[in-house]
Structure formats: C-alpha cells, structure tokens
C-alpha cells in the first residue's frame, strides 16, 4: 500500500476531472443550442422558403386549342383523343440497378414487346426518353387514334407488367397533307420557345409553322395554373388548382376545303403549286404545294425513320413551293411587259406588227416557238398566241432597267405582303445593277430580250405571280394577302393603274382563253365562267433547247418543261386570281390551263349555280 | 443486506427517459407512418425499461467483480465472430445471428470496455507509466479496430472515447494528453488514407454540403431545411412537409431529430434539451455522491458517452459534425442501441440505489488505511 502511494487515485482528483468533463459537455450543448437557434430562428424564414420550393411545383394546365375552320365552316384542324401504349419502368419485372443496367433491361423489355406486338418502335429513342424521367413516370411507345387497335395490342401484352394503355389529346388534321403548307403544324416547344413564354411548358403544344404558328397565342388560349405537392422522389401527393385554363379561340380561314381537295387530286404525285386569291380582299382561297406532308406526323410526333424518309423524298415535300419555289415565269410575264409597253408608250396596242419566225439581234438569232411565226398581230393577239417575237421587240426597246422598274411595281423581286407569312424567297427581278453586282458586267442586248419573255436571268415564286395577275384584274389594288377570313381587308397601296393601260392587256388575256386558237382555250371545255389568263411554258432544259427540236416524249421527265398558267375570273367582274405551276408537266396550255379551268368551275361555277337556284 | 428486499428505482432518470421515449415514438409514427414500426419501438421501450429495472436491482458488487472482468472478453470474441461469420447488411458487417436473435456486439462494447477499464484502474490505480498506458491503450484500441473494419466509424469512435474518457478521468497527465494530440495530428494524413471513400466524403461535405448537393451533401442540406422549416413553434404533428414528403433521409433512425425539429420547432428543441440536461445533471449528481472509484469512473464514462451521442447526433443533422451514423438516445428507432443505453442507466441506478453500502465500505476502508 505504502509502496504504491504515488500511483494511488484520490477521489477529489477524479472529481476535478469530472468537472472538466461536465464543462466540455456544457460547451458542446451550448454550441448545439446556438446552432439550432441560428437555423430555426435566424434563418427560419429562408429555410421555410426552401422547404416550400422543395415540395411545391407550379404546373400549367394546357387549354384546349382552338379549332380551325375553312371558309365554308368545315373543321380542318381539331383536337382528338389518341390512345397510347405507355411503359412505366418501375413496374417492369426486376427493373432497377445502375443506369447502364436499367438501360439494358429496358432494351430487352422493349425488344420483347416489339416482337409480341409486331409494331414499329424507335427503341433507342424510347429508352432515351424513359431514362430521362423517373422510373414511375410513363413513356409513350406507340399511339393510335384507333382505340380498337390499341386495345388489341394491350391484350397481346396483358401478362406483362410495366406496359399500360393511356390517352392523350393531340392536334388532329383530318385532311392530313391538304393544308400542311398553310396551316403548318404544332409540336413540342423547343428551348427558345420555352424561354420566351411563361405559359408554355414542356407539355404544351405550340404552333411550329404556318397559321398554327402565327395565331399560336389566339388558338392556344390561356393556360391554367396549379400547385402540385410532390414528395422527395418526385411523386405527386396532392394538387391545388389556382386558375382554370381558358380554351383557345376558334379561327376561320379563307381557304376552301373543296378547292384544296380538287387541286390535290389533280396533282396526285406530280409536283407543283396552285394558289387562288380573292382579288377584292386579298383572301387566300387555295394554297397548295405538291407534294405535301401529313401534318399529323409532326403533331403526333414521328419516328426518326419517318422523318428521314420525308427529308430524303426527292419531291422535297417540306418545301413550300408557293413562297420558296422559284420558277422562270416564262410567258406569264408577257401581260406585265405589255402593260409597261403601253405605259411607256413603246407601242400602240392596236398597231399590228409582223411577227416573224426568228428575231435577230446582231448575229444572234432567236426563234419563235411556232416555227412559221404568227404573222401580223396586235397586242391582244400577241398575248392569245403568246408571240415571242412581239416581246423580243418590246424587250429590245425597253431595255432591262425599264423592265426591272416595271416588274417591281407588280411585286416581282420583292416580298409579297402576306399577313401570316413573312419568310419567302424574292426571286430575281434583274437589272444592270444586279448583273454588275453578280457577274461584273452589264446585260447584253441578247440577254435583255430573254427577260421580256420571262426566261434567262429572271425567276419568281408562284405567290408573286398570283399577286401580280391579281393587280391586273383589280386595277392595281394591292391588298395584303391573308388567311384570316374574319379579318378586314387591308389596302397596302393602290397602284392606280389606268384602265387604258390595262384593257388591251385584259383583252389579250380574254382571247387567250376564249378564242379558238388561244393558248388557254382548253379552259373553255372545263367551265362556262369567263376566264382571262396567260399560259407559260418554262424551259427546264438548257437554253440551247431553243435551237433544237423539243420533243416532250423523248425527254426525261425531270427535264420536261414546267406548265404555268396565271389568270383571273370572271372576266368582267373579277373575283379570283390564280396561278398554277405544274413542274415538268409540259406546256402551259396543257396541265396548268386544265387545272385552272377546273378550279374556276369548282369555285365560281358552283357559286353561280347556287345563285341561280336561289 | 436490507437492500436485497427493497425495490430500487430512480425517478429522476426513469421519468425524463420515459418522456424522451414517448416523444421518440410520436416522431417515429410521424416519420414512418407505419404502426408496425411504432409497435415494435414500443415493445423495445418496454423491454428496455424492464432490463434497466432489473439491472437497477442487481448488486453493484456483482457488476464490479464479475461482469466487469468477463464481459469485455466475451464481447471481443463476439466481435471476432462478427468478422468471421457476421451478417452483412447495407455494405457493413455488424450483426451476429445467434439463431434466436440478431445482436450487434459493437453496441455492447460501449459498456463492456468502460467496465473493464474502470475495474482495472480501480485495481491497479492511476494509469501512468509507459507500460501501464500501453496496456490500457491496447485494451481500448483492439475493440475499436475490430469495429472500425466492419466498417463502422461512428461506433468505433464512441468505443474509443468510452475508454479514453476514463483514462482522462482517472487523471492521466495533461502532458501526456497534449503529446498524444501532437502525435495524432501527425498521424492524421495516415489516418485519412485509411478512411473509406464514403467516410472522407462525409467529412468533406460537412465543411461544405454544397460541394455534393445531390450526393451525401443532399442529406445535410435537406435536414437543415427541415430543422429551419420548424421555425419557433414548429409545423405541428404530421404537418412537416420535409418529413411527410420524404426529403429527410433515415428519418426514423439517425435523422429523427430533424423530423422532430420540423414538427415541433425551436420550442420542442428546447424541451428536449431540457430533458437531456436533466438526465446529464442527474448522472453528475449521482457521480458526486458515489465514493467508489470504480463506480465513479463507470458513471462518468456513461455520462460523457451519453452526452456525446446527443451532441454528435444533433450536430450531424444540423451540419456541424460529419455524418457518422450515430443515433439519438431514446429517440431513434432501434433495439440494440436502446438496450445498451438502458443497461448503462440501469448500472448507474444500481450504483446509486446501493450508495449507503458503498459509503459504509468506504468508511471502513478509510478506517483501515489510517
């Protein structure tokens, strides 16, 4: 005992250390208390906000999109219920694990489903979409408007967990490709569209092109708003509606369903354009570019395979030929040259000049399309027979710069004013300035005279052609073109074209259709309505073709001439103006004139009958 | 011998422990929404109280001279068994299946170790001298290492502390402590290499939870939001959005107090603090009264470890201590942990209930030494 005395512990020593321990405990508890005070009292509000943001998600509720009617109150765009097959990965047997493992399982599952259902699925895309969501969220793998079809499919996979049927409301275009280039289509918003509008969410459908895009806000309506309460794994626990959605407003467009259908049937698999305008209002009555695309493919969402097919289609169906297709106007330019000739006093419309078989500039020889020439002709006949000689001569006298200014007045080389359409190609309305800028030299005389028959360095879009002929029909009133049937017409400018300048030309256009050797005489067979117009035959083959024998049958289809017709009707009180372009359809007196006649008969002939019946 | 026929209990311990258990059950219900878990916890509380009461009525002499000497070694064997034939769950091997029940030997080591160290110090006096300290060091770090490799860093630290605090309490010289600190700080880089990646991550994210917002930092951030969302008076029972919508991880075990703080606010936190302090002060009071070195050391170790648990748990969920997976005494759901705490308190209560005897013995001993 005594030996170990140094090592002996005394209780008071222990107690001293115990007090140190208790002191440490008090310090630690004080730190805790201060920390809790800081979190709960000082930062309490801030943390409460964070907690709120954790659980409350503001979600917009999509309103029903407004319907679109044609001018005769036919619904041409509406919303329908689509039946979907969805997968919900969390229900798939043995689903789970790391991303790569889940991906593998998903692919295996989808391949199995595909083999059972025998439907086309873009597995890669589906897997990508499914993995970007939470595993309890559904991903669409197939959809159809036919409930029986989807019901049948779901029966086939009834024994499989993880696949289920659902519905969604989608934009539906019952006439599929009939209005693709005018109505456009709707689709999921891209990042830019999401950023720009506070009401658009990932679930919204926004107008992507055409009328759907221009009137998007009007058709879309007001989105509703609700708070949804979600838990930590993103599942919705409850929701609180703050504002009900207001459905979009309906829109009536000036397009005519029957006329569109007629045009489409005429084109079948041919390429080209038909546009019909109301000369007194600027309303667009028909607007069809062939080939077209089924707009539902875009609004429903299509597989990338389908999309590639569309892109690779040699007919370029996505191309809106009305505003973006440029063609040589060919002889359809002649009425405007003729108006300019009278305006500028280059010719007396009644004077007859001898239209020979060839026109000579220096040592260059330009052939008339009719080997033996047209003989003595005045302006009316120059139009009805479409003499080249007459216009070579006018072109020679006027020079390219005068023609440029003249054609500008009629809107060539410029954007055609359309309310709903902004982007379009302006084509080439050539001048010396243009030639110098492009080729570094002025026009040669031989080139200039080509312009006057609408060939060479001149190109125009069908909408420009239709708009220009409309100006001849209504005396130069440039109404803004529009699709919105209910909107008041707007006069952009009045060219105040003198009737004395126009009437000889109108007479020529009348003769084109209504004399027995007029180039557009085929129209008489199609309708009793008096039509005035001008044929055009645009050379696709090289300009050398002019000097060689052109035989339609012997030439590959893509090298055949384009068939053009511009005109208006009825002759004495014009209501509509139109253009038809048939790519590679040969001369303008054929396909284009025929379709023009059918258009007039369909639109005005029936109207007339109706009028008589009443 | 009178004490053998007396029923011993200590209301200053029993009542606050009971209230804490009740609050715990309330939060477990709110956080888990499962009555099965609540039922199971109530059973565990009942069993815990039973064990505490029984130990309360066991003679301290039996604990001192029998349990202290053998429990540690049996426990070491169990820890070795865990390494050899333990049950693996959630990436760690901590459990031992005995056939009729599953136990977690590392939990029991938190009491076995202090009992042995206290006993040895009682027997051999002050821990001084190189050989002596080496012996204690070995006894402390062997089970620590066995738990550390499970891996269970949190429990390993607690076990080490439960032994070291006794050496400190028994009067190990400050010079030695500071030189150990110096050595430790040199050792730190070595230790850092030994840590598992997830443990390093936890320590790093404590300093800045934002570096790993969606990973391990997510838990701390969400837990702090939950605590703060409680504000002064709390969101109310079943009304904490962070709790009810599952933003708090492990919310009926380690993070249970986040859920409590959200639903009962700073006011509730103060009440719980008061209850814990009541228990701590009671333990301190008992320790003061005890005159037996062994009992004093055991009581103080239990006091410190209990306080340390509360501090680490509450600190970890509020972002000032790394997330080491330490439960909150009497609050968190879990059986072995509840039982260990009850055993500890039962032992202290047993000491206190038999104070008179000790006092007499001390007097007798004192008389002898004179």
Per-residue DSSP letter, A4: T
Contacts 24+ apart (CB under 8 A), A468-471: A468/A336, A468/A410, A468/A411, A468/A412, A468/A566, A469/A332, A469/A335, A469/A533, A469/A534, A469/A566, A469/A567, A469/A568, A469/A577, A469/A578, A469/A579, A470/A277, A470/A279, A470/A568, A470/A577, A471/A410, A471/A411, A471/A495, A471/A497
Chain centre to alpha carbon of residue A345: 43
pLDDT of residue B62: 86
Contacts of A18 in chain B (CB under 8 A): 169, 284, 287-288, 296, 300
Chain A residue with CA closest to B234: the answer is: A40
Structure tokens at B163: 């032994």
Chain B residue with CA closest to A37: the answer is: B266
Residue with token string 């994210």? B205
Alpha-carbon distance of B107 to B109, in angstroms, equals: 5
Residue B271, pLDDT > 80, answer: yes
Least confident of A271-285, A393-407, A413-427, B344-358: B344-358
pLDDT greater at residue A600 or residue A231? A600
A182: closest CA among A77, A272, A279? A77
Structure tokens at A375: 């003989």
Find the largest Cα–Cα distance for chain A. Answer: 154
Give residue B364's pLDDT band: very low, low, confident or very high (50, 70, 90).
low
pLDDT of residue B51: 93
β-sheet bridge partners, residue B369: none
- Give tens-digit pLDDT for B171-193: 887 888 888 888 878 877 877 77
Structure tokens at B15: 């009542």
This prediction has a pTM of: 0.66
Task: Count CB pairs under 8 A between chains A and B.
Answer: 150
Contacts of B369 in chain A (CB under 8 A): 1
pLDDT of residue A613: 46
B positions 52-81 inside 8 Å of A (CB): none
Task: State the smallest CA–CA distance between residue A99 and chain B in angstroms.
Answer: 16
pLDDT of residue A305: 83
**Residue B178: φ, ψ to 5°:** -65, -35
State whether residue A5 sits within 8 Å of chain B by CB. Answer: no
A581: closest CA among A601, A561, A600, A559? A561
Could you tell me the CA-to-CA distances from A96 to A103, A105, A109, A133, A137 in Å, in that order? 9, 8, 13, 14, 14
Least confident of A207-221, A404-418, B1-15, B136-150: B1-15
pLDDT of residue A469: 96
Highest averaged pLDDT of the listed ranges A285-289, B7-11, B197-201, B235-239: A285-289
pLDDT of residue B349: 93
The three-point CA angle A155-A157-A162 to 5° equals: 125
3-state secondary structure of A399: coil
Could you tell me the CA-to-CA distances from A444 to A157, A343, A441, A540, B362 in Å, in that order? 74, 24, 9, 22, 132
Q: Which whole number is the average pLDDT over B128-156?
A: 85
Alpha-carbon distance of A237 to A226, in angstroms, equals: 13
pLDDT of residue B325: 77
Q: Which whole number is the average pLDDT over A555-571?
A: 87
What percent of chain A is modeled with pLDDT above 90? 53
Helix (H) or strand (E) holding A229: strand A224-230
Give residue A541's pLDDT band: very low, low, confident or very high (50, 70, 90).
low
Q: Which whole number is the average pLDDT over B246-267?
A: 86
Q: Which whole number is the average pLDDT over B289-318?
A: 92
3-state secondary structure of A87: strand
**Residue A581: φ, ψ to 5°:** -125, 120
Of A14, A28, A46, the CB nearest to B307: A28
pLDDT of residue A374: 87
A positions 476-535 inside 8 Å of B (CB): none
Residue A200, pLDDT > 80, answer: no
pLDDT greater at residue A143 or residue A252? A252
- Give tens-digit pLDDT for B2-44: 445 578 888 999 999 999 999 999 999 988 878 888 999 999 9
Residue A226, pLDDT > 90, answer: no
Structure tokens at B127: 């821990």
3-state secondary structure of A200: coil
Chain A residue with CA closest to B170: the answer is: A14
Q: Quote the ipTM score.
A: 0.89
Give residue A326's pLDDT band: very low, low, confident or very high (50, 70, 90).
very high
Give residue A38's pLDDT band: very low, low, confident or very high (50, 70, 90).
very high
Average pLDDT, chain B: 84
Task: State the smallest CA–CA distance between residue A97 and chain B in angstroms.
Answer: 15
Residue B76, pLDDT > 90, answer: yes
Find the largest Cα–Cα distance for chain B. Answer: 69
Contacts of B315 in chain A (CB under 8 A): 28, 31-32, 35
pLDDT of residue B87: 75
Residue A189, pLDDT > 60, answer: yes
Residue B356, pLDDT > 70, answer: no
Helix axes A11-37, B153-169, angle to 10 degrees: 140
pLDDT of residue A383: 94
- Give tens-digit pLDDT for A20-36: 999 999 999 999 999 99
pLDDT of residue B10: 87
A138: closest CA among A235, A245, A225, A206? A235
β-bridge pairing A68-69 and A75-87: antiparallel
Helix (H) or strand (E) holding A418: none
Alpha-carbon distance of A358 to A356, in angstroms, equals: 6
What percent of chain B is modeled with pLDDT above 70? 88
- Give tens-digit pLDDT for A390-436: 999 999 999 999 999 999 999 999 999 999 998 899 999 999 999 99
β-sheet bridge partners, residue A286: A276
A442 class by beta-carbon count within 10 Å (0-12 exposed, 13-18 middle, 19+ buried): middle
- Give tens-digit pLDDT for A69-101: 999 999 999 998 888 888 888 788 877 767 778
First to last CA, chain B: 27
B354 class by beta-carbon count within 10 Å (0-12 exposed, 13-18 middle, 19+ buried): buried
pLDDT of residue A607: 57
The three-point CA angle A325-A187-A302 to 5° equals: 85
Least confident of A191-195, A308-312, A438-442, B66-70: A191-195
pLDDT greater at residue A47 or residue A10? A47
Q: Taking the alpha carbons of A90, B225, B28, B321 in that order, is the dihedral positive or negative?
A: positive
Residue of B117, B122, B228 to mutate for A, most A C-beta atoms under 10 A: B228
Give residue A118's pLDDT band: very low, low, confident or very high (50, 70, 90).
confident
How many helices (H) and strands (E) chain B has is answered by 15, 3
**Residue A598: φ, ψ to 5°:** -65, -40
What percent of chain A is modeled with pLDDT above 70? 94
Residue of B117, B174, B245 to mutate for A, most A C-beta atoms under 10 A: B245
Q: Which residues contact residue A173 at a Cβ distance below 8 angstroms, ignoring those fewer than 6 apart? A: A76, A77, A179, A180, A183, A185, A294, A295, A296, A299
pLDDT of residue A1: 37
3-state secondary structure of A243: strand
Residue with token string 């003198």? A498
- Give tens-digit pLDDT for A461-504: 999 999 999 999 999 999 999 999 999 999 999 998 989 999 99
A246: closest CA among A406, A64, A407? A64
Alpha-carbon distance of A477 to A460, in angstroms, equals: 20
Q: Which whole number is the average pLDDT over A294-322?
A: 87
Give residue A4's pLDDT band: very low, low, confident or very high (50, 70, 90).
very low
pLDDT of residue A570: 93
Residue A543, pLDDT > 50, answer: no
pLDDT of residue A547: 44
In DSSP notation, A161-198 reads TTEEEEEEEEEE-TTTTTTHHHH--EE---HHHHHH-S
Average pLDDT, chain A: 87
Contacts of B239 in chain A (CB under 8 A): none
Cβ contact (<8 Å) for B315 and A232? no
State whether residue A311 sits within 8 Å of chain B by CB. Answer: no
Chain centre to alpha carbon of residue A488: 23
Give residue B215's pLDDT band: very low, low, confident or very high (50, 70, 90).
low
pLDDT of residue B84: 86
Give residue A3's pLDDT band: very low, low, confident or very high (50, 70, 90).
very low
Helix axes A44-55, B216-230, angle to 10 degrees: 120
């Amino acid at each position: 005992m005594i030996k170990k005395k140094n090592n002996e512990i005394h209780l008071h020593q222990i107690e001293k250390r115990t007090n140190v321990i208790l002191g440490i405990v008090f310090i630690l508890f004080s730190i805790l208390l201060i920390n809790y005070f800081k979190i709960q009292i000082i930062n309490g509000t801030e943390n409460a906000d964070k907690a709120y943001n954790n659980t409350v998600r503001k979600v917009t509720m999509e309103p029903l999109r407004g319907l679109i009617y044609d001018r005769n109150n036919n619904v041409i765009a509406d919303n329908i219920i689509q039946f979907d097959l969805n997968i919900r990965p969390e229900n798939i047997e043995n689903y789970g694990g790391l991303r790569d493992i889940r991906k593998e399982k998903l692919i295996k599952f989808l391949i199995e489903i595909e083999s059972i259902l025998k439907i086309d699925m873009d597995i890669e895309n589906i897997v990508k979409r499914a993995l970007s969501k939470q595993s309890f969220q559904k991903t669409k793998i197939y959809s159809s408007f036919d409930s029986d079809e989807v019901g049948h499919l779901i029966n086939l996979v009834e024994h499989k967990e993880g696949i289920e049927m659902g519905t969604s409301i989608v934009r539906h275009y019952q006439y599929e490709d009939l209005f693709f280039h005018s109505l456009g289509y709707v689709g999921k918003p891209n990042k830019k569209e999401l950023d720009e509008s506070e009401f658009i969410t990932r679930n919204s459908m926004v107008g992507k092109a055409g009328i759907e895009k221009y009137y998007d806000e009007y058709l879309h309506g007001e989105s509703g708003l609700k708070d949804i309460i979600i838990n930590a794994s993103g599942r919705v626990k409850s929701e609180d509606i703050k504002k009900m959605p207001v459905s979009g407003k309906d829109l009536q467009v000036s397009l005519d369903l029957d006329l569109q259908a007629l045009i489409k049937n005429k084109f079948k698999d041919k390429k080209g354009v038909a546009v019909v305008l109301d000369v007194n209002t600027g309303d667009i009555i028909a607007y069809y570019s062939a080939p077209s695309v089924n707009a539902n493919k875009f609004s429903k969402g299509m597989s990338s395979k389908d999309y590639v097919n569309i892109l690779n289609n040699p007919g370029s169906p996505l191309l809106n030929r009305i505003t973006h297709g440029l063609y040589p106007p060919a002889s359809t330019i002649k009425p405007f040259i003729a108006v300019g000739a009278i305006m500028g006093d280059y010719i007396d419309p009644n004077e007859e000049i001898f239209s020979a078989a060839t026109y000579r500039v220096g040592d260059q020889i330009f052939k008339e399309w009719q080997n033996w020439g047209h003989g003595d002709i005045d302006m009316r006949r120059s139009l009805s027979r479409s003499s080249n000689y007459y216009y070579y001569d006018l072109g020679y006298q006027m020079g390219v710069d005068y023609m440029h200014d003249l054609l500008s007045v009629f809107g060539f080389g410029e954007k055609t004013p359309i309310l709903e359409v902004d982007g379009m190609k302006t084509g080439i309305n050539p001048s010396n300035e243009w030639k110098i800028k492009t080729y570094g030299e002025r026009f040669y005389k031989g080139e200039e005279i080509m312009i006057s028959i609408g060939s060479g360095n001149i190109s125009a879009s069908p909408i420009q052609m239709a708009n220009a002929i409309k100006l001849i029909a209504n005396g130069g009133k440039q109404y803004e073109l529009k699709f919105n049937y209910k909107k008041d017409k707007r006069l952009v400018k009045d060219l105040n074209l003198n009737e004395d300048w126009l009437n000889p030309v109108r007479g020529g256009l009348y003769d084109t259709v209504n004399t027995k050797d007029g180039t557009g005489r085929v129209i008489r067979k199609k309708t009793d309505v008096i039509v005035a117009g001008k044929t055009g035959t645009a050379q696709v083959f090289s300009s050398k073709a002019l000097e060689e024998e052109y035989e339609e049958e012997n030439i590959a289809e893509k090298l055949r001439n384009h068939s053009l017709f511009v005109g208006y009707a009825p002759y004495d009180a014009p209501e509509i103006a139109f253009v038809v372009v048939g790519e590679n359809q040969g001369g303008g007196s054929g396909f284009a004139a025929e379709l023009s006649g059918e258009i007039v008969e369909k639109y005005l002939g029936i109207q007339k009958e109706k009028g008589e019946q009443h | 011998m009178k004490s053998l026929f007396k029923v011993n209990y200590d209301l200053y311990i029993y009542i606050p422990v009971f209230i804490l258990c009740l609050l715990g059950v309330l939060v477990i219900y709110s956080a888990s929404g499962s009555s099965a878990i609540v039922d199971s916890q109530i059973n565990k509380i009942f069993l815990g109280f039973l064990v505490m009461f029984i130990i309360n009525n066991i003679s301290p002499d039996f604990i001192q001279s029998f349990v202290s000497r053998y429990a540690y070694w049996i426990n070491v064997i169990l820890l070795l068994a865990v390494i050899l034939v333990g049950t693996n769950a959630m990436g760690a091997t901590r459990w031992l299946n005995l056939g009729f029940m599953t136990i977690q030997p590392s939990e029991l080591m938190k009491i076995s170790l202090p009992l042995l160290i206290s006993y040895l110090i009682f027997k051999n006096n002050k821990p001084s001298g190189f050989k002596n300290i080496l012996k204690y060091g070995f006894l402390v770090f062997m089970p620590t290492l066995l738990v550390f490799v499970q891996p269970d860093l949190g429990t390993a630290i607690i076990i080490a502390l439960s032994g070291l605090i006794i050496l400190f309490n028994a009067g190990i010289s400050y010079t030695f402590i500071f030189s150990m600190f110096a050595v430790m700080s040199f050792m730190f880089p070595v230790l850092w290499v030994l840590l598992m990646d997830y443990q390093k991550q936890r320590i790093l994210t404590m300093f800045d939870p934002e570096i790993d917002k969606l990973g391990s930092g997510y838990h701390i951030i969400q837990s702090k939001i939950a605590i703060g969302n409680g504000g002064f008076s709390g969101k109310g029972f079943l009304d904490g959005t962070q709790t009810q919508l599952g933003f708090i991880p492990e919310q009926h075990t380690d993070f249970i107090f986040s859920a409590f703080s959200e639903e009962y606010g700073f006011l509730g936190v103060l009440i719980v603090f008061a209850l814990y302090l009541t228990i701590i002060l009671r333990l301190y009071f008992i320790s003061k009264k005890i005159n037996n070195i062994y009992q004093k050391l055991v009581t103080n170790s239990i006091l410190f470890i209990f306080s340390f648990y509360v501090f680490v748990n509450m600190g970890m969920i509020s972002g000032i201590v790394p997330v080491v997976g330490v439960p909150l005494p009497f609050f968190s759901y879990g059986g072995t942990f509840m039982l260990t705490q009850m055993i500890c308190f039962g032992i202290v209560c047993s000491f206190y209930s038999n104070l008179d005897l000790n006092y007499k013995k001390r007097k007798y001993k004192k008389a002898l030494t004179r």
